[in-house]
A and B are shown apart, each in its own frame.
Chain A
Amino acid sequence: MGLLDRLSGLLGLRKKEVHVLCLGLDNSGKTTIINKLKPSNAQSQDIVPTIGFSIQKFKSSSLSFTVFDMSGQGRYRNLWEHYYKEGQAIIFVIDSSDKLRMVVAKEELHTLLNHPDIKHRRIPILFFANKMDLRDAVTSVKVSQWLCLEDIKDKPWHICASDAIKGEGLQEGVDWLQDQIQAVKT
């Protein structure tokens, strides 16, 4: 990232629009993470379970993100694939304290990666091992083992431990995502 980029980013000029899909099981913290990435005056106080999906916007230092915040409930999960075409990056959120449903998350990730719209595109995937603050949470290394993230060979991916309520770990993830998107663009 050059000095000019950073400068123009700070000035709010030439901000590129990027479409990002935010996926994950229900109750994993997708809406909370996106809410926390927004500027503090635009953040909402109450987070309720998402119905269907919602479109959110936030900005990082040099990019402007449009996020499709999908609902993760079982009956809405078949909506995900309708937005795969637009997605230029994927944020996949995992509840690291929910050991029981780690297999479900793995299964959903597997179907996502094997979808024809995703399979042959080299789009960056950012994983958030969320809810790190909880006592029975497992480490991000464990999460990546359980989800078999090593098997993803053709896409750049990154896993961050995060605590979406305090906002810890989110910035690191978004910085990585921004670097990857710019690397793809240039």
Chain B
Amino acid sequence: MANVHTFSSCLALADFHGDGEYKLAVGDLGPDGRQPRLKVLKGITLVSHKVLPALPAAAVTFLMGPHEPRTPALAIASGPCVYVYKNLKPYFKFSLPLLPANPLEQDLWNQAKEDQIDPLTLKEMLEGIREKAEVPLSVQSLRFLQLELSEMEAFVNQHKSKSIRRQTVITTMTTLKKSLADEDAMSCLVLGTENKELLVLDPEAFTVLTKMSLPSVPVFLEVSGQFDVEFRLAAACRNGSIYILRRDSKRPKYCIELSAQPVGLVRVHKVLVVGSNQDSLHGFTYKGKRLWTVQMPATILAMNLLEQRSRGLQAVMAALANEEVRIYHNKALLDVIRTPEAVTSLCFGRFGREDNTLIMTTLGGGLIIKILKRTAVFAEGGGEAGPPANHAVKLNMPRKSRFYVDQTLREREAGTAMHRTFQADLYLLRLRVARAYVQALESSLSPVSLTAREPLKLHAVVQGLGPTFKLTLHLQNTSTARPILGLVVCFLYNEVLYALPRAFFKVPLLVPGLNYPLETFVKSLSDKGISDIIKVLVLREGQSMPLLSAHINMPMSEGLAAS
């Protein structure tokens, strides 16, 4: 158990010390998501372990400048800042530019500063702004609005001298090559913020090169191309859409609407592969045209790119909730890796001195490292089976015996007589059913009354072994919107055999749709193990005709008779 709790976006592989030994940087959330740590693994040993100020959103490595030595810097996005580590030492902290605050809100706080306005009016005015204005309130005002009356005064006195600030939070981060597509070219950071914006940062000066706006909050980013030449940015957002931006467009150029929320976004050559929370992978072109869809057997937990440079292979890995990692090349399933536990993050690349290493972290915090063999070739291993292989399942047709043939012969010969007798019997049956039904209606024996005036339903349950039983009556009003008032329940029983504390009681008002359990305790008095029937009658007050009734066959008493 390595105790690594993280996501695919917070894993980065790079040669931080320039010695050819690639290390893994993990923005770890901590076992309960409350102790953010930066962990660096060399081989299978933890070499560095630093506390992070806030939970990491993403970790990427990038080359900052053209100078030697060309060791990449590690950028960790957390909260409103990007912490840049060089040589695994803190080097720079970039903060997102502040957002403009609402001028009305600013005015209010200025008035509070000069004590022209008391906390209660301030609260009312701020609430007015919150509902109407387009620019949302600052964190300070929002916190003020949450407070109780008694705490307001102190809060205003403490905070009125501070200027109000509105800051946003980074949700996602990736890198974009600046002017060259080489492996060791400079890269720009691309940040997605909670404020529905994308920022492209200069790698050396950490100034904002461009700002693009999106209709929703980006959660996954995928970039291709170079910043100075031409680039395409695909951003999967929380509203279940993917927006594609080009170099000169400040607004999205194409939009792909998914039917479900995206859980991962990976670019394979020119295809965008999106994992949706409906357990499927979709392939899209950069123009937003759907190319293919593959259904997964379980929920997708993590996705990442598998790139084997020596063979020029790019494939998508998807970690599923059924403890599998599947590798797909377009629609074809290349390989399935089974893991002892569900995998939450995936990373493929050069680790240590080995080029093709797959690093997985599991739900419980374990770390699994797999090295791809030099001789291994991914092939479409015929994972896709057509119809089920076992054709042995025949249609379940019953066999006909000699008996059946004889019967049909008999039917052929004496068909008329059979028909007549059967019809006569049917008449008799109908007559008897109708008689019994009328009798039941007259004595109200049925436990369901369907009359329009009194829709009721009753059933009784007996629990216990005896001599004491618990008898629960479930009474329900089945009308749509008419409560029933003034009902009573009466039990009829053999007083020699059973004792009931109250054999007659009133029923509360029955609200339509609710099930009323009414319970009594029945004591068996007989010591000979005799069981009898108890009748339950539901009556209306003032009428002697029961509306409905139930018969309960009391079970045998298993114990000594209650004395």
Give A contacts to B, CB under 8 Å.
25-27, 74-75, 77-78, 98-101, 103-104, 107-108, 111, 136
In contact, A107 and B20 (Cβ under 8 angstroms): no
Q: Is the CB of A98 within 8 A of B371?
A: no
Is A27 within 8 A of B371, CB to CB? no
- Shortest distance from the beta carbon of B45 to any chain A beta carbon, whole Å: 7
Q: Is the CB of A136 within 8 A of B20?
A: no
Among B20, B44, B351, B355, contact of A27 (Cβ-Cβ < 8 Å): B20
Among candidates A75, A104, A111, residue contacting B354 with C-beta atoms closer than 8 Å: A104
Q: For chain B, which range describes its interface: under 10, 10 to 19, 20 to 34, or 35 or more residues?
A: 10 to 19
Instruction: Verify B352–A98 contact, CB threshold 8 A.
Output: yes
A100-B44, A107-B374 known, 19 other contacts, Cβ within 8 Å: A27-B20, A27-B353, A74-B310, A74-B354, A74-B355, A75-B310, A78-B374, A99-B44, A99-B45, A100-B43, A100-B351, A100-B354, A100-B371, A101-B352, A101-B353, A101-B354, A101-B371, A103-B371, A104-B371
Q: Which residues of A contact B354 (CB under 8 A)?
A: 74, 100-101, 104
User: In the complex, which residues of chain B have a beta carbon less than 8 angstroms from the beta carbon of A111?
Assistant: 375
Q: Which residues of A contact B355 (CB under 8 A)?
A: 74
Report yes or no: B353 in contact with A98, Cβ–Cβ below 8 A: yes
- Residues of chain B with a CB closer than 8 A to A136's CB: 45
As a 0/1 sequence over residues 333 to 364 of chain B, the CB contacts with chain A under 8 angstroms (1 = contact) are: 00000000000000000011111000000000
B21's closest neighbor in chain A, by CB? A27
- Residues of chain B from 445 to 469 with CB closer than 8 A to chain A in the complex: none
Cβ contact within 8 Å between A100 and B374: no
Q: What B residues does A101 contact at CB under 8 A?
A: 352-354, 371
Q: List 21 A-B contacts (CB under 8 A).
A: A25-B353, A26-B353, A74-B355, A98-B43, A98-B353, A99-B43, A99-B45, A100-B44, A100-B351, A100-B352, A100-B354, A100-B369, A100-B371, A101-B353, A101-B354, A101-B371, A103-B371, A104-B371, A107-B373, A108-B374, A136-B45
* Chain A neighbourhood of B351, CB < 8 A: 100
Q: Mark B514-534, 1 if CB is under 8 A from A, else 0.
A: 000000000000000000000
Q: Which residues of B contact A (CB under 8 A)?
A: 20, 43-45, 310, 351-355, 369, 371, 373-375
**Cα of A122 to Cα of B352 in the assembled complex, Å:** 34
Considering only CB atoms, which chain A residue lies closest to B371 in the complex? A104
What is the CB-to-nearest-CB distance from A25 to chain B, in angstroms, rounded to a whole number?
7
Residues of A with C-beta under 8 A to B352:
98, 100-101
Closest 10 CB pairs of A and B: A100-B43, A100-B352, A100-B44, A104-B371, A27-B353, A99-B44, A74-B355, A74-B374, A101-B354, A99-B43
Question: How far is A107 from B45 in the complex, measured between Cα atoms in Å?
Answer: 22
Chain A CB count within 10 A is highest, among B353, B355, B375, for B353
In the bound assembly, the distance between CA atoms of A111 and B369 in angstroms comes to 21
- Cα–Cα, bound, A98→B373 (Å): 17
Residues on A with beta carbons closer than 8 Å to the beta carbon of B374: 74, 77-78, 107-108
Complex: A108 Cα to B43 Cα, angstroms: 19
Chain B residues lying within 8 Å of A99, measured Cβ to Cβ, are 43-45
Looking at the assembled complex, report how far the CB atom of A102 sits from the nearest CB atom of chain B, in whole angstroms: 10
Please, which residues of chain A bring their CB within 8 A of the CB of B369? Answer: 100
Cα distance A100–B371 in the bound complex, in angstroms? 9
Give A184 to B204 CA distance when docked, in angstroms: 65
Question: Which residues of chain B are within 8 angstroms of A103 by Cβ–Cβ distance?
Answer: 371
Residues of chain A lying within 8 A (CB to CB) of residue B353: 25-27, 98, 101
In the bound complex, how far is the Cα of B352 from the Cα of A103, in angstroms? 13
Instruction: List chain A residues, Cβ under 8 A from B373.
Output: 107
Docked CA distance A37–B369 (Å):
36
Complex alpha-carbon distance, A98 and B354, angstroms: 11
In the assembled complex, the Cα of A134 lies from the Cα of B20 at a distance in Å of 18
Chain A: CB-nearest residue to B376: A107
